[in-house]
Chain A
Amino acid sequence: MSHLALPPFPHPAKLRTTPQHEHMERHRKLHGRRMDAEERERKKEARSVHKKAQFAQKVTGIRAKLYNEKRFKEKAAMRKTIAEHNERGNKHANDDAVADGAVPAYLLDREGVSRAKVLSNTVKQKRKEKAGKWDVPIPKVKPVADDEMFKVLKTGTKRNKAWKRMVTKVTFVGDNYTRKAPKYERFIRPTGLRFKKAHITHPELKATFHLDIIGVKKNPSSTLYTNLGVITKGTVIEVNVSDLGLVTTSGKVVWGKFAQVTNNPELDGCINGVLLV
């Protein structure tokens, strides 16, 4: 019954992986190392990446999954270490740069107060006006033909006259407009398609305001449409911005500013636009 006194025999696999006693060190102490030991170690180390790569390409299934997971972690740790080593040598471009937009101490830390620049640049606007062109958000629009814009109305007792036109698009008609006598009224602007207000977005404030229309500055399709006050997509209108509190350099409150229509008002039932700043 001697087996009771002995410890159980270890599993062969365990025997292989865990050396019993420090026999390697002992051997080294007794006999020294091989002459080329360092060289072999270096080479083995150098080859190990290739070996690992080979293995990584070959491995499949659950082993591949586990291996890749392990490798990913190793690589992350490696990247971190490299970054740490580089820390001192890294170039820090913006360490000394002074932030833009200096504000006095009493305005620091005031969120909610919009710091957007809302000053008008009247000079620019005037110059553009002179040239008759605007640098507008919608530079090109499809021209609207006369037969799309106007509906021919038959007049006369026999309904054989066809000189009257009805505008089929949205129009802006000023407050003090008085209709002419029917005999002289060539163009009819239906009241159902008249608009007085527009939703205008300030591109820098990123806010939309419901503003009164002052007039139609330019309809890109034709000067006739401009004169009639027809508002189609791309039309430049003047809106009343006195509520926005914009100020000129001379300290006066700006009240009229141009905006461009960005939607098809006759289809949408409202006028949307962007302020030209």
Chain B
Amino acid sequence: MSGVTWGGSLAGVTNPDVKLGYNAPRNGPDGKPIPTPDSSLPSSVMVQLVSSTGSTTFPPIDVPINSTTTQLEALVHNLLNPDSDDDSDDDDDEVEKKKKKKKRKVESTPYAFYLSPHINPSGTTSTPEDKELTTSLLDAIKSFNSLATSTSSPPIVSTEKTLTVTFQPLAVYKVRPVTRCTDTMPGHTEAVLHVQYSPSGRHLASGGGDTTVRFWDTNTALPKFTCTGHRNHVLTVSWSPCGTHFASGDKSGTLIIWDPSTGASKFTYKAHSKWITGISWEPMHRNEGKGERIATSSKDGLVKVFNVRLQRVLFTLSGHTDSVEAIRWGGEGLIYTASRDRTIKVWGAEDIEGTKAGKLVRTLTGHGHRVNTLALSCDYTCRTGPFDHNGLNDGSADAMFARAKSKYTEIISQAPERLVSGSDDFTLFFWHPTTSKQPVKRLTGHQQAVNCISFSPSGRHFASASFDKKVKIWDGRNGNFLHTLTGHVGAVYCVAWSSDGRYVVSASKDSTVKLWEVGETKAKETLPGHADEVYALDWSPNGRSVASGSKDRTIKIWKH
């Protein structure tokens, strides 16, 4: 087999400046020496590195079987940037500087690696057998081999075979874990039912049982506007992806659109005869970036789509026979709704080929009990729209649209849109809703109703919170189970991801918020302070703070 030899000794190899020399004692990321391969496995394997978007495929390389992820990372950096060895020249012209800047970016990007047992040159579709490399190549191969012996299929490693390793870039920036309560914001005179940060992370809004919507200043942690207008408990709130509109829905079915810069209401509409369970804005990258449409779901079994600019109902989606519990406006021009009638329905939101706006596209069935919650792999991208992780965007409308679109295409190029639904039958279903009405996988493990699911911003993982006091982390590419996070002593109500996808926070009935690091099963931080159940939780998209709303009528801000 042809390919560059990337031998164990590295003597006389053309790329001599790998920062972690292979001759150095091999230590894992935790500092412990990595066990040497046993005799049944070859000392090196042929590996083909493929980027997750499928755009880059390197020729097969012979690498030592006990290569760690950091070493693979160095290898990818080297392959992506082959001229990195000319560090010595000190040319100060602009082109060189730019190049260096780009190079630095390439070198600092961390990667996640997935080992696939099949030869899969495109790399875009992940098979359910894919395994993430957590420590080293050897460990992943061993786990595959132990699986292979039990199912009597041939082991994946042989000198004849080439392994496909997919690498996926992780967030370059790091969000610092929250550890303390910096502010307690009283104001609501009844339980706080929903809090949400604006897509830029600079504003915070909350809806409460005292029928008010309140806007807060995140810098000073002081109230900005108190908006009255609702006549009943404000159950759900939502910022538009551009951050210029804000919607809130109450228990009597009224939808109000607010102007977050002044706190004035723009549009009040008695949308439903019963309470509003969810609100979802049209993603910024659809519909020429106008982002003026909004969908609401309600207990009365209907879903309505409004145009905020025209201030009227565009269409009503009726088809569910019971309360609609969750709604998501996907990035592909589809609206997903989950209902108590045990089905998930997919509706067309636009007139694109094959579908008309307001028409039922498909019905996803599988759940045995009411479906409580939905999560989309692109939820975070759609929510933050044109804003980057610093909460900045480029001013003009066209630029914002272009930015939102490029962000979305980057995410969707790695994997197609995935939907996860959680139900009272204690299971989750993993769907590819844009193409199929068959579930990809049924995820079991929870012992009580699943209340909340949340995809990590990159779509690599998702977390599910259940009334059985557990949070479970699953692989976002294929729905494989990864970890159970135990520690809460009451039902878990909400989970939220940090914007870099490395931490999860969860809010529980036991009045605490807990912070978890992905990959560990014990809480990294327990954040007590609320005097009663914590109902709402959100991690700011710029990663600086977490807000939690509680039955004790306060909102707490948690920071590093």
Which residues of A approach B to under 8 Å, CB–CB?
A: 96, 98-109, 113, 117, 119, 245, 247, 249-253
Which stretch in B52-60, B82-90, B428-436, B531-539 binds the other chain?
B531-539
Q: Check A102 against B493 for contact (C-beta < 8 Å).
A: no
Could you say which residues of chain A place their CB within 8 Å of the CB of B526? 251
Q: Check B193 against A103 for contact (C-beta < 8 Å).
A: yes
B190 in contact (CB, < 8 A): yes
Could you say which residues of chain A place their CB within 8 Å of the CB of B232? 98
Q: Check A251 against B275 for contact (C-beta < 8 Å).
A: no
| 18 A/B residue pairs, CB under 8 Å, sorted by A | A98-B211, A99-B233, A100-B190, A101-B209, A104-B194, A104-B493, A105-B235, A105-B275, A105-B276, A105-B277, A107-B493, A108-B235, A109-B323, A245-B489, A247-B510, A247-B512, A249-B511, A251-B510
Closest-CB distance, A129 to chain B (whole angstroms): 20
B543 in contact (CB, < 8 A): no
**Closest A residue to B469 using CB positions:** A245
B530 in contact (CB, < 8 A): yes
Across chains A and B, which 9 residue pairs bring their CB atoms closest together, nearest first?
A102-B209, A251-B528, A251-B512, A102-B233, A105-B235, A250-B528, A247-B510, A104-B193, A102-B191
- Name the prevailing secondary structure of the A interface residues: loop
- Name the prevailing secondary structure of the B interface residues: loop
B117 in contact (CB, < 8 A): no
Could you say which residues of chain B place their CB within 8 Å of the CB of A253? 489
Closest-CB distance, A24 to chain B (whole angstroms): 57
Closest-CB distance, A42 to chain B (whole angstroms): 49
Q: Check B531 against A249 for contact (C-beta < 8 Å).
A: yes
Could you say which residues of chain A place their CB within 8 Å of the CB of B454? none
Could you say which residues of chain A place their CB within 8 Å of the CB of B210? 98, 102
Q: Check A98 against B231 for contact (C-beta < 8 Å).
A: yes
Q: Check A251 against B208 for contact (C-beta < 8 Å).
A: no
Bits for B476-509, please: 1 = Cβ < 8 Å to A, else 0: 0000000000000110010000000000000000
Could you say which residues of chain A place their CB within 8 Å of the CB of B236? 105
Closest-CB distance, A120 to chain B (whole angstroms): 11
Q: How far is the CA of A104 from the CA of B234 in the complex (A)?
A: 9
Q: How far is the CA of A252 from the CA of B512 in the complex (A)?
A: 9
Q: How far is the CA of A105 from the CA of B325 in the complex (A)?
A: 8
Could you say which residues of chain A place their CB within 8 Å of the CB of B531? 119, 249
Could you say which residues of chain A place their CB within 8 Å of the CB of B208? 102
Q: How far is the CA of A99 from the CA of B250 in the complex (A)?
A: 13
Closest-CB distance, B211 to chain A (whole angstroms): 6
Could you say which residues of chain A place their CB within 8 Å of the CB of B490? 245, 247
Could you say which residues of chain B place their CB within 8 Å of the CB of A104? 193-194, 235, 493, 535-536
Q: How far is the CA of A266 from the CA of B323 in the complex (A)?
A: 55
Which residues of B approach A to under 8 Å, CB–CB?
A: 190-191, 193-194, 208-211, 231-233, 235-236, 251, 275-278, 299, 323, 325, 372-373, 451-452, 467, 489-490, 493, 510-512, 526, 528-532, 535-536
Closest-CB distance, A113 to chain B (whole angstroms): 8
Closest-CB distance, A160 to chain B (whole angstroms): 60
Q: Check A109 against B299 for contact (C-beta < 8 Å).
A: yes
Q: Check B193 against A102 for contact (C-beta < 8 Å).
A: yes
Q: Check A247 against B489 for contact (C-beta < 8 Å).
A: yes
* CB within 8 Å for A106 and B452 given contacts A98-B209, A98-B232: yes
Most buried by B among A96, A98, A113, A117: A98
Closest-CB distance, A111 to chain B (whole angstroms): 12
Could you say which residues of chain B place their CB within 8 Å of the CB of A107? 493, 535
Could you say which residues of chain A place their CB within 8 Å of the CB of B193? 102-105
Closest-CB distance, B448 to chain A (whole angstroms): 10
- The 8 Å CB contact of B511, one of A100, A105, A109, A119, is A119
Closest-CB distance, A81 to chain B (whole angstroms): 31
Q: How far is the CA of A174 from the CA of B112 in the complex (A)?
A: 56
* CB within 8 Å for A106 and B493 given contacts A98-B233, A251-B512: yes
**Closest A residue to B209 using CB positions:** A102
Q: Check A108 against B275 for contact (C-beta < 8 Å).
A: yes
Could you say which residues of chain B place their CB within 8 Å of the CB of A252? 528
Q: Check A106 against B528 for contact (C-beta < 8 Å).
A: no
Closest-CB distance, B422 to chain A (whole angstroms): 11
Q: How far is the CA of A149 from the CA of B536 in the complex (A)?
A: 56
- The 8 Å CB contact of B191, one of A103, A106, A250, is A103
Q: How far is the CA of A249 from the CA of B551 in the complex (A)?
A: 12
Q: Check A249 against B211 for contact (C-beta < 8 Å).
A: no
Closest-CB distance, B50 to chain A (whole angstroms): 40
Q: How far is the CA of A252 from the CA of B528 in the complex (A)?
A: 9
Could you say which residues of chain B place their CB within 8 Å of the CB of A98? 190, 209-211, 231-233
**Closest A residue to B193 using CB positions:** A104
Most buried by B among A106, A113, A119, A252: A106
Could you say which residues of chain B place their CB within 8 Å of the CB of A250? 528-529
Q: How far is the CA of A197 from the CA of B325 in the complex (A)?
A: 44
* CB within 8 Å for A106 and B372 given contacts A119-B532, A247-B511, A249-B528: yes
Could you say which residues of chain B place their CB within 8 Å of the CB of A117? 532
Q: How far is the CA of A109 from the CA of B193 in the complex (A)?
A: 15
* CB within 8 Å for A105 and B278 given contacts A249-B530, A251-B511: yes
Known: A98-B231, A102-B193, A103-B193. 10 other contacts (CB 8 A): A103-B209, A103-B535, A104-B194, A104-B536, A105-B278, A106-B452, A109-B299, A113-B467, A249-B528, A249-B531
Could you say which residues of chain A place their CB within 8 Å of the CB of B451? 106
Q: How far is the CA of A98 from the CA of B451 in the complex (A)?
A: 26
Could you say which residues of chain A place their CB within 8 Å of the CB of B528? 249-252
Could you say which residues of chain B place their CB within 8 Å of the CB of A105? 193, 235-236, 275-278
Q: How far is the CA of A102 from the CA of B212 in the complex (A)?
A: 12
**Closest A residue to B188 using CB positions:** A102
Could you say which residues of chain B place their CB within 8 Å of the CB of A106? 325, 372-373, 451-452, 493
Q: How far is the CA of A108 from the CA of B234 in the complex (A)?
A: 13
Q: How far is the CA of A131 from the CA of B236 in the complex (A)?
A: 46
Most buried by B among A103, A105, A108, A113: A105
Closest-CB distance, A112 to chain B (whole angstroms): 11
Could you say which residues of chain B place their CB within 8 Å of the CB of A108? 235, 251, 275, 299
Q: How far is the CA of A172 from the CA of B487 in the complex (A)?
A: 34
Could you say which residues of chain A place their CB within 8 Å of the CB of B535? 103-104, 107
**Closest B residue to A245 using CB positions:** B489
Q: How far is the CA of A250 from the CA of B236 in the complex (A)?
A: 28
Could you say which residues of chain A place their CB within 8 Å of the CB of B511? 119, 247, 249, 251
Could you say which residues of chain B place their CB within 8 Å of the CB of A102? 190-191, 193, 208-210, 233
Closest-CB distance, B281 to chain A (whole angstroms): 17
Q: How far is the CA of A5 from the CA of B191 in the complex (A)?
A: 91
Could you say which residues of chain B place their CB within 8 Å of the CB of A101? 191, 209
**Closest B residue to A102 using CB positions:** B209
Could you say which residues of chain B place their CB within 8 Å of the CB of A103? 191, 193, 209, 535
Could you say which residues of chain A place their CB within 8 Å of the CB of B512? 247, 251
Q: How far is the CA of A245 from the CA of B510 in the complex (A)?
A: 9
Closest-CB distance, A99 to chain B (whole angstroms): 8
Q: How far is the CA of A245 from the CA of B469 in the complex (A)?
A: 11
Most buried by B among A96, A101, A102, A117: A102
Q: Check B231 against A96 for contact (C-beta < 8 Å).
A: yes
